[in-house]
Amino acid sequence: MYLIAGLGNPGIKYEFTRHNAGFLTVDYLCDELNIKCNRNGFFAKSCSVNHKGQKLVIAKPQTYMNDSGRSIRVLMDYYGIKADKLIVIYDDVDIPLGKLRIRPKGSSGHHNGMKSIIEHVGTNDFARIRMGIGKPEHDMVNHVLGRMSDEELKTIPFDKGAGAALTIVEYGVERAQAACN
């Protein structure tokens, strides 16, 4: 069983912001799997599906970005999911717009959502898919919380992020890295 968590902030105000790249990737994944991520509970909107012999729990924490770890910890505890079966999808300003990077583990960098997850999960040894949103010249907060333009929405590879999550589930992180990085 895997937990695939896309990070973002809940509510219409944040719906198409750069910080919600994880939510948007999970939405794409759910569309591909023909499911809705709308079950409320565990401080998240979630759903579950069987995919090629693996049960997937797919979630969008509703605790706001900086407290994402609280929701993820509760989901992991309830479903008995270990950290090596956790995949987190999130925005990254250190990756150019339109690119993505997959890592089997790592630090939080300067990402507060990842800091929260590492704190609550107790390890940084879990897969992550980092969706590039580009680095601003000046105001970081307005950049990540700013609404994406139509061109940015077309440029960010939500499809590749969703595909990378399924590749990790089916074949492992290394194969996903080879295909996507």
Which residue numbers are catalytic? 19
The answer to whether the beta carbons of residues 152 and 123 sit under 8 Å apart is: no
Tokens of 26: 């999970």
Tell me which residue of 99, 110, 159 sits closest to 134, measured CA to CA: 99
Tokens of 74: 């509760």
Give the Å distances, CA to CA, from 120 to 4, 10, 66, 167: 16, 20, 12, 26
CB atoms within 10 A of CB 180: 18
Give the Å distances, CA to CA, from 2 to 34, 42, 115: 18, 16, 21
Question: Residue 153 in 3-state DSSP?
Answer: helix
